[in-house]
Structure 1
């Protein structure tokens, strides 16, 4: 048995490597190659895969590691800022597509239960494909990506409830009681995570930082362990792994965890997509091609439109709305799991199953291209996308023709101190933020603002940031500040760039990239630096002494931490 599994995995990986090289030569998405490998290795072509349970287990590990690593880079605060957009978008998108899918099923002469299964299947989007492609583009911390991931989490919750309802109907159980039990188990696991992170994990910090091998094993045990616990509680692997990652996101060694797990993640994810492909060989294709194409159009065209309308109505820019919408343009792998359960229970015929399976295959392929080339598509469709922008965001376009000597990115964390300073200096300034509540607050204060993402190059061009004298970022996100530092170093090296960081080593990196000053907790915050700006103006040379003193203090802090890690705050 051991030899058989080894032989199968070796053959499939060899086949996958050859197809991946071919896809790379054609400059095509590798995900398409992995799914194609699965189809070829499946029972309808070469029949290489027989140890289904082994491949399924390996693919589940890939799913868990992917979501765990994503969770390590996220925080509950980031989700809370886009909570309104997530709930509204998910509600509109799921209800609209489910209803449309149900109506389409009835038109195709499917039964009521079959049509409902089809509707729910079309409404769900693939967490794995979306997160994998966003991660490949290094955009998981972008505004649109956080909204998309939030919507995916709510979709997973809805899918879990639907699966419970299907199981209860099959066994004539009490759905309400099952849902209450699910909620209690979920809350219990979240409380357990909180208690462990609050009281147990800090005691392990010294040991984990001294041994890289122990850190790797702890990361695997934590991520896979909680993914398993959430699965046993009735939730999906994705939800469990993501919560496990988010719970550790604030730890000083979370980045080290992620970097050590990524090679393992990449291998297991290849197995996941191959396994997914080998299950997607629908029979009777000639009978289901046209219905599958019709359902695919709903997923590829109408589903993104619901996201565009929802986010545009909430005041998000057309770029953020478009990129989030494009990300949702496929059927979920969970839809196929739900479909298989419905077939096994006798609620769905093989013909309906084949149609939805082919729909999934079509949308997986098309969405991979849409997500990869979303910036190109946006450029071509930009004029037409203005229909989906609320008037509030038109300030963004008016701002493009004005030069602002001072630009402030982020209002929530210390931004009000800088606004007070800039007004006292009687300097023209603008605030950039993507939180609708902050925008409403700025509008009430009659502050010039632009609504958008700090990492959007098009927005920076509209700002004429290349002519600004002072750029301040109160956003503590590492990737955002690195992006701004690099952009300014390339396009406007004479500008004063003041930014924020929570960690000494990250602050040192920002200084190396040209930051004039990096604000840190417990050292100097927005209040003191704003006073310095008011007193010394916008001259970059005035920051030199401040900068040099801070670099010395940071190096002392880092050296002390290397000697005694427990001193890290």
Structure 2
């Protein structure tokens, strides 16, 4: 069959099945994987040029991680580095130990049990990034933490694959690992120099034309990913590093917007290829162990992550949301099992078992992540075990006149105004780092999750005069407004939205005012024209004051947040 016709038929079939999935309100990823099963060798056998599709899928993976890197500014990596390493390594360790014990109970030998146990530890970075991107949760606290420990998992997986591969190539693992470490240090030094001195003028040159900037971005991302691959690293790590390097430029958001449609097309081919390569041999004999191991991955892995994050001081909601991102196995798992089979370490039955677990957990975790916000309220009362105990509440709850929910770039301005009003106010945030910074600045702050009704009940919202929420999530703001209005009809409630229809709904729920940042800027500029007319001096004064304000925000490391609706 002609290659063009083959790819066209696959895309048409994918569009049809994805359309059915959308009508049935099912995750699109499931539709793509089912398309792969249909076009694979076991059903229609349409996918003959798997090598070409594989290359396309690699481009999609590289672009996906490149865009993620564009949002991972170096300061964010430093901020969440410790929790990512502790959670990533801890989850791999505990899942391996528990998984090994479970697999041994089914009569597998020690070598096979070790392979399967390790395969159960790795979660699919690609699938999770796609789901979080679709939900627009990549920038949330749990999203950033999840990206961090998933990348730690990928590094561990790469080292394990190198170790296993060394058996077939007759190489020593330590020699290969030390050589990679040396290459990594040299490459990191060169990239630091480029990021500091080469990229700024280069990106400025290409940014003069949008087409040039787009072409330069693809060249930089894929070129660096290829360089990493040639030096023995994974394409994924190279693409991510390329994105992080460009995240320091002023154009990273524009680049990210332009790359997303291209990314989505190629990533779809990745999921189709994944579905076509799933193998189900000896399925009947594997049903019971596949069921038990799938339950372990879907429930056990999240519990491990929730425990670790709870010990690190994060809320039960953050732990729950982040925990769901490890409720499936990865493409690394399937690669590891295939490699073990080629080396004669394990049988095809073990490969089939992990394949079934992969399909079940990928499907199951997709539903769990997409509907996490609806599931959490039902489980919240039972999740306090995974959260550090708060100190006992005092008999008299401190009363505050004003509340600020969410201290981010927008919240900074409100804190300054609250101080000037000389009223008692409280800032609420669920990021331990933000809470620590505010505490050091002697700003009244409380660690908590606005989406937790029990936490809101602890606050004296009945006597609040003013409540401001800078949290961009519509469901959280809707819940907060309705909660306040149920106990306080007089308070001024100001929330934020990046969507007109959502803003109208928030007004219906009782919001006093809904901030829409993109409209507010234009509205203020129009007011200045109306007020100042053609007075150049007054505009010059506004310009001077605004530049001074922007410099102050820049010193604090703030940057204008991106409207979620534009993503």
**TM-score for both structures, normalised by structure 2:** 0.80
The corresponding residue for 2:554 is none
How far residue 108 of structure 1 moved from its aligned partner, in angstroms, is 2.3
How far residue 388 of structure 1 moved from its aligned partner, in angstroms, is 1.2
With over 3 angstroms needed to count, the CA separation of the structure-2 counterparts of 1:297 and 1:384, relative to structure 1, is: same
| Structure 2 residue corresponding to 1:265, chosen from 263, 266, 276 | 263
Provide the secondary structure at the position in 1 that maps to 2:2: helix
The corresponding residue for 1:41 is 39
Moved more, 256-265 or 110-119: 110-119
Following superposition of structure 1 onto structure 2, how do residues 451-466 of structure 1 map, counting pairs within 5 Å?
Answer: 451-452=447-448, 464=461
- Write the deviation string for residues 50-98 of structure 1: whole angstroms up to 9, x where unpaired: 1121111001111111111111122121222222322222222111101
The corresponding residue for 2:146 is 148
The corresponding residue for 2:128 is 130
The corresponding residue for 1:430 is 426
* Distance in 2, Cα, partners of 1:468 & 1:512: 29
* Distance in 1, Cα, partners of 2:454 & 2:545: 35
| 1:327 counterpart = 2:325 | yes
Contact persistence 1:486–1:513 (CA under 8 A) = no
Provide the secondary structure at the position in 1 that maps to 2:428: strand
| Structure 2 residue corresponding to 1:299, chosen from 297, 300, 315 | 297
Contact persistence 1:405–1:468 (CA under 8 A) = yes
| 1:382 counterpart = 2:380 | yes
The corresponding residue for 1:485 is 496
* Distance in 1, Cα, partners of 2:469 & 2:378: 32
Provide the secondary structure at the position in 2 that maps to 1:85: helix
Provide the secondary structure at the position in 2 that maps to 1:139: coil
* Distance in 1, Cα, partners of 2:25 & 2:249: 38
* Distance in 2, Cα, partners of 1:551 & 1:486: 30
Contact persistence 2:406–2:469 (CA under 8 A) = yes
Contact persistence 1:304–1:326 (CA under 8 A) = yes
- Write the deviation string for residues 515-567 of structure 1: whole angstroms up to 9, x where unpaired: 9xxxxxxxxxxxxxxxxxxxxxxxxxxxxxxxx9699539998xxxxxxxxxx
Contact persistence 1:64–1:223 (CA under 8 A) = yes
Provide the secondary structure at the position in 2 that maps to 1:430: strand
With over 3 angstroms needed to count, the CA separation of the structure-2 counterparts of 1:402 and 1:510, relative to structure 1, is: farther
- Segments of structure 1 that go 5 or more residues without pairing to the other structure are 498-505, 516-547, 558-569
Contact persistence 1:406–1:427 (CA under 8 A) = no
Following superposition of structure 1 onto structure 2, how do residues 501-540 of structure 1 map, counting pairs within 5 Å?
Answer: 511-512=521-522
| Structure 1 residue corresponding to 2:364, chosen from 353, 363, 366 | 366
* Distance in 1, Cα, partners of 2:25 & 2:418: 51
| 1:194 counterpart = 2:182 | no
The corresponding residue for 1:86 is 84
| Structure 2 residue corresponding to 1:336, chosen from 334, 337, 341 | 334
Provide the secondary structure at the position in 1 that maps to 2:82: helix
How far residue 135 of structure 1 moved from its aligned partner, in angstroms, is 0.2
The corresponding residue for 2:315 is 317
The corresponding residue for 1:536 is none
Contact persistence 1:23–1:30 (CA under 8 A) = yes
The corresponding residue for 1:14 is 12
Provide the secondary structure at the position in 1 that maps to 2:281: coil
- Write the deviation string for residues 393-419 of structure 1: whole angstroms up to 9, x where unpaired: 888x99999544153744999979968
Contact persistence 1:134–1:145 (CA under 8 A) = yes
**TM-score for both structures, normalised by structure 1:** 0.80
